[in-house]
Structure 1
Amino acid sequence: MPAIADTPEPPYYAVIFTSTVTGDNSGYQETAQRMLELAARQPGYLGVESAREDVGITVSYWRDLEAIRNWKAQADHREAQRLGRERWYAQYCTRICRVERDYRGP
């Protein structure tokens, strides 16, 4: 079972990336894994959760907006973004949210 990200007490930020794919998945899994590894090394990174069915949803958590901007500008991530637009994603949406509260269970 995938783990739920162990985030700190709010506030912090979430980047929600939703997508549908084109069917051309050549290199997709390798690039996605590499992006997870690179993101985890970025200052301000807090964690990630991801699921893919008909719609893929990846939520990454960040300390602040500056950390998000730095990740967006990271060179390998920029190349992955380009490939996503040109090859892998039929459609996508990125949402950036400030987390004010979170609740945990069971």
Structure 2
Amino acid sequence: MSDYPEASAAPVEAFEPPYYVAVFTAVRSQEQSGYSETNARMEDLVNDVPGFLGMDHAQTPGGLGITVGYFRDADALMEWRNNAEHRAAQQRGQAEWYQSYTLHVAKVERSHGFTRVHAPQSATAG
């Protein structure tokens, strides 16, 4: 049921705290008419919110979808929360697209990341 494009193999970078995350975890229903178009529109809209830092998506084989949105401050997150089109999509999601979901919002106090630059070389006896 995933409508997300093939994700890159890298997560959103670690940002200098503090910042906020909104973790949306959902199981979708069988009714998905209009979901893909609305999802694409929401991604366009959130990218226009000043203070939006990025988004990660993951989908389990069992159908659990997880989206994490990163926001510079509480004002940016509130702007997204109160966006009229986003509110309408939430209502439609409850009525049609989601079997269940949870939303967790948290202030990030610590953040770091790692990226391997070169493939590790194996030790060989010689």
Does the 8 Å contact 2:52/2:70 carry over to 1? yes
Higher relative contact order (CA 8 A, sep 6+): 1
More displaced stretch, 16-25 vs 62-71: 62-71
TM-score (normalised: structure 2): 0.78
Tell me how far 1:7 sits from its aligned partner: 4.6
How far apart are the structure 1 equivalents of 2:85 and 2:13? 25
1:14 aligns with 2:21: yes
Structure 1: stretches of 5+ with no match in the other structure: none
Corresponding residue of 1:58: 67
Q: Equivalent residue of 1:24, what SS?
A: coil
1:39 aligns with 2:56: no
Does the 8 Å contact 2:14/2:113 carry over to 1? no
Identity %: 40
Structure 2: stretches of 5+ with no match in the other structure: 1-6, 116-126
Q: Which has the higher helix share?
A: 1
Corresponding residue of 1:26: 33
How far apart are the structure 1 equivalents of 2:84 and 2:14? 26
Segments of 4+ moved more than 3 angstroms: none
Q: What amino acid is the match of 1:82? A: Q
TM-score (normalised: structure 1): 0.92
1:95 aligns with 2:104: yes
Corresponding residue of 2:122: none
Q: Which has the higher strand share?
A: 1
Aligned length: 106
